[in-house]
């Protein structure tokens, strides 16, 4: 065959329409290659007898349902949305491009648009990259299908369920949130919280906070009273005994929990049941330098031995009060969008992987072998041979995901807590919020819908063009 396929198609179409001398058996030299090209236009009608009007009528009959569905469910809503977007909130009066102006000037919608841009830039490329890594690595392991199934599994979960699941993963409290539990465990392994975190001086006591610790000034010969509160009774060590003021002489004092369980104690006074706080590191400072260090006993008493007479600063060192690390606020204003994108990646990485695996299996093995024989390293093979060969698939995945990400709604709606929903807002969510979530502003909602449509359009057109090219 030397003839190009396009002219053949044209000829055949023309023949079919005119109905004269159409190849009947499909075995003529020109028809033979067409027969194994199922997509070629006119291939089928060419095989039929003449009667063009009947053909036309039949095609109309066959097309009608699809056309009606397309018109009512696709074309009409698009036109109606555009119409709504040019009208006031209830569709009553024409407002021109007012809604579009509001869309780009209102801070909430602008924020949503910016977030959408972040999504489009970050999410599809990360998902595709993850998919590629999974696909290439999984090819090399045994039980590949099991791994694939596991990675693909999140796709079987609805966004809603995934959102609820990740809500728990990201929970603020380390007792409930999986991620924070992990973060806190790792953090505490390196710097554990101190026994007395949360304790603070009793109001009115002459103790001031200094760099996380508490200090006061005293001269030798006086008793330093250091009343602390804010510590739950169950965090007082078991070996603690009721506090007692030390006998005079030298620089000495007492650190105790100045709260009588059940109430009734006097502030700043050592009441009978109030316990001392053992094992607190106490420092004596003179002219800003630590001159002595000691620890409190079971009754909270401490005493510095062998200090010269005079004035000192007595400090409860900060490391007695290191607060526990409470994890990261994943769903707070600053991290909410990255956190949701992470959940999105978890869901869609499997999808990308499956498609890319299919692409990998289609590339010629001998190309890889040839590269290896020529002495290319695995990284070079991956970088210079594999990736270029699966590039078309990568593009498909990327474009599909881009369309998908532009429309992102449910994951944000479910995952973002109310207080940071504004920070996580995306166009589709904002569209829902202005139209149904309160204002009933269908005009602005439709304008957002049109914006979304226009943003998705280039990706759609790209996909359609590419598909056309491949069919030829």
Partner 1 sequence: MRISLRAAALASVAVLAAAGCSGTADPTTTGGAGPLAGQSLEVAGTWSGTEQESFQQVLDAFATKTGATVKYTSGGDDLAALINSRLAGGSPPDVALIPQPGVVNEFARKGAIKELTGEAATAVAANFSPAWQQLGSVDGKLYGVYFKVANKSVVWYRTDKFAEAGVQPPATWEDFVKVTKTLADAGISPMAVPGGDGWTLTDWFENVYLRVGGSENYDKLSRHEIAWTDPTVVQTLQLLGQYWGDAKAVQGGAKGAVQLKFTQSIADVFGEKPQSAMLFEGDFVAAEINKLGKVKVGEGAKFFDWPAVNGSKPAVVTAGDQAVAFKDSPAAQQLIAFLASPEAAKIMAAKGGFLSANKNLDTKAYPDPTTVALAESVVKADLLRFDLSDLTPQTFGGGTGASMWRLLQDFLTNPADPAGTAAKLEAAAKKDFGGK
Nearest distance from residue 168's CB to partner 1, in Å? 11
262 touching partner 1, by CB under 8 A: yes
Interatomic CA distance for residues 463 and 472, integer angstroms: 15
What's the DSSP call for residue 407? T
155 touching partner 1, by CB under 8 A: yes
Could you tell me how many residues of this chain bind partner 1 (CB under 8 A)? 57
Output 210 or 363, the one with its CB closest to partner 1.
363
Nearest distance from residue 437's CB to partner 1, in Å? 6
Interface residue with partner 1 among 77, 268, 311, 392 (CB under 8 A) is: 392
3-state helix, strand, coil in the chain (%, to 5): 55, 10, 35
Interface residue with partner 1 among 48, 172, 220, 389 (CB under 8 A) is: 172
400 touching partner 1, by CB under 8 A: yes
Interatomic CA distance for residues 282 and 279, integer angstroms: 9
463 touching partner 1, by CB under 8 A: yes
Interface residue with partner 1 among 24, 32, 182, 440 (CB under 8 A) is: 440
470 touching partner 1, by CB under 8 A: yes
232 touching partner 1, by CB under 8 A: yes
Nearest distance from residue 144's CB to partner 1, in Å? 18
The strand pairing partners of 276, in sequence order, are: 256
Give the DSSP per-residue string, 176-201: T-HHHHHHHHHHHHHSPPPTTTT-EE
112 touching partner 1, by CB under 8 A: no
205, 238 Cβ separation under 8 angstroms: no
15, 21 Cβ separation under 8 angstroms: yes
What's the DSSP call for residue 382? I
Burial of residue 57, with CB atoms counted within 10 A of its CB: 0-12 exposed, 13-18 middle, 19 or more buried: exposed
Output 49 or 234, the one with its CB closest to partner 1.
234
Buried b (16+ CB within 10 A) or exposed e, 392-418: ebbebbbbbbbbbbbebbebbbbbbee
111 touching partner 1, by CB under 8 A: no
Residue 29, CA atoms < 13 Å, CB-side half-sphere: 3
186 touching partner 1, by CB under 8 A: no
Piece in contact with partner 1 (CB under 8 A), picked from 79-87, 121-129, 142-150, 418-426: 418-426
User: Which among 311, 244, 307, 250 is positioned nearest to 278, based on CA atoms?
Assistant: 244
Interface residue with partner 1 among 439, 457, 461, 472 (CB under 8 A) is: 439
Interface residue with partner 1 among 175, 287, 366, 374 (CB under 8 A) is: 175
418 touching partner 1, by CB under 8 A: yes
**What does the H/E/C string look like for 268-310?**
CCCCCCCEECCCCEEEEEECCEEEEEEECCCCCEEEECCCCCC
Nearest distance from residue 137's CB to partner 1, in Å? 20
Which tokens sit at 418? 């109310």
88 touching partner 1, by CB under 8 A: no
Output 10 or 90, the one with its CB closest to partner 1.
90
Interface residue with partner 1 among 421, 453, 456, 462 (CB under 8 A) is: 421
| DSSP H or E stretch at residue 431 | helix 427-435
331 touching partner 1, by CB under 8 A: yes
Question: Residue 457 to residues 27, 293, 380, 465: CA-CA distances in angstroms?
Answer: 43, 72, 36, 12
User: Which among 76, 116, 105 is positioned nearest to 444, based on CA atoms?
Assistant: 105
Interface residue with partner 1 among 354, 427, 447, 451 (CB under 8 A) is: 354
Output 13 or 326, the one with its CB closest to partner 1.
326
Interface residue with partner 1 among 185, 260, 266, 334 (CB under 8 A) is: 260
Piece in contact with partner 1 (CB under 8 A), picked from 50-58, 64-72, 113-121, 254-262: 254-262
36 touching partner 1, by CB under 8 A: no
Interface residue with partner 1 among 396, 426, 428, 447 (CB under 8 A) is: 396
261 touching partner 1, by CB under 8 A: yes
Interatomic CA distance for residues 286 and 164, integer angstroms: 57
The strand pairing partners of 216, in sequence order, are: 314
Which tokens sit at 262? 């059940």
| DSSP H or E stretch at residue 149 | helix 144-152
Residue ranges in contact with partner 1 by CB under 8 A? 155-156, 158-161, 172, 175, 198-199, 202-203, 229-233, 235, 259-264, 326, 329, 331-332, 351, 354-355, 358-359, 362, 392-393, 396-397, 400, 404, 410, 417-419, 421-422, 433, 436-440, 442, 463, 466-467, 470
């Amino acid at each position: 065959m030397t003839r190009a396929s396009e002219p053949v198609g044209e000829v055949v179409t023309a023949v079919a329409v005119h109905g004269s001398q159409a190849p009947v058996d499909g075995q003529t030299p020109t028809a033979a290659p067409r027969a194994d090209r199922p997509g070629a236009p006119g291939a089928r009608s060419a095989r039929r007898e003449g009667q063009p009007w009947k053909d036309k009528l039949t095609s109309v009959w066959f097309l009608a349902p699809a056309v009606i569905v397309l018109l009512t469910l696709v074309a009409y809503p698009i036109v109606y949305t555009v119409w709504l977007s040019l009208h006031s909130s209830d569709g009553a009066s024409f407002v021109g491009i007012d809604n579009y102006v509001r869309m780009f000037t209102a801070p909430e919608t602008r924020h949503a648009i910016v977030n959408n841009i972040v999504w489009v830039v970050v999410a599809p490329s990360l998902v595709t990259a993850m998919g590629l890594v999974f696909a290439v690595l999984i090819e090399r392991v045994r039980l590949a299908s099991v791994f694939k199934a596991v990675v693909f599994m999140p796709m079987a979960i609805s966004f809603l369920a995934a959102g609820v699941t990740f809500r728990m993963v990201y929970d603020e409290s380390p007792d409930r949130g999986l991620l924070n539990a992990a973060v806190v465990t790792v953090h505490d392994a390196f710097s554990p919280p101190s026994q007395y975190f949360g304790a603070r001086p009793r109001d009115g006591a002459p103790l001031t906070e200094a760099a996380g610790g508490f200090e006061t000034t005293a001269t030798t010969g006086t008793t330093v009273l250091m009343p602390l509160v804010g510590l739950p009774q169950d965090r007082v060590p078991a070996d603690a005994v009721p506090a007692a003021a030390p006998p005079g002489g030298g620089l000495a004092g007492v650190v105790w929990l100045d709260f009588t369980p059940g109430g009734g104690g006097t502030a700043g006074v050592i009441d009978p049941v109030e316990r001392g706080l053992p094992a607190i590191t106490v420092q004596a400072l003179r002219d800003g330098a630590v001159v002595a260090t000691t620890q409190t006993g079971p009754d909270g008493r401490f005493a510095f031995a062998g200090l010269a007479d005079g004035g000192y600063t007595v400090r409860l060192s900060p490391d007695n009060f290191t607060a526990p690390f409470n994890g990261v606020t994943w769903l707070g204003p600053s991290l909410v969008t990255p956190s949701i994108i992470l959940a999105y990646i978890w869901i869609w990485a499997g999808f990308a992987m499956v498609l890319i695996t299919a692409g990998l299996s289609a590339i010629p093995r001998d190309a890889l072998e040839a590269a290896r024989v020529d002495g290319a390293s695995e990284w070079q093979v991956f970088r210079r041979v594999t990736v270029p060969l699966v590039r078309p698939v990568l593009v498909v995945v990327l474009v599909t995901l881009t369309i998908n990400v532009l429309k992102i709604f449910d994951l944000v709606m479910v995952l973002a807590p109310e207080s940071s929903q504004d920070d996580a807002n995306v166009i589709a969510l904002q569209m829902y919020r202005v139209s149904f979530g309160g204002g009933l502003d269908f005009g602005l909602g439709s304008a957002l819908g049109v914006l979304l449509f226009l943003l998705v359009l280039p990706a759609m057109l790209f996909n359609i063009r590419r598909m056309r090219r491949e069919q030829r």
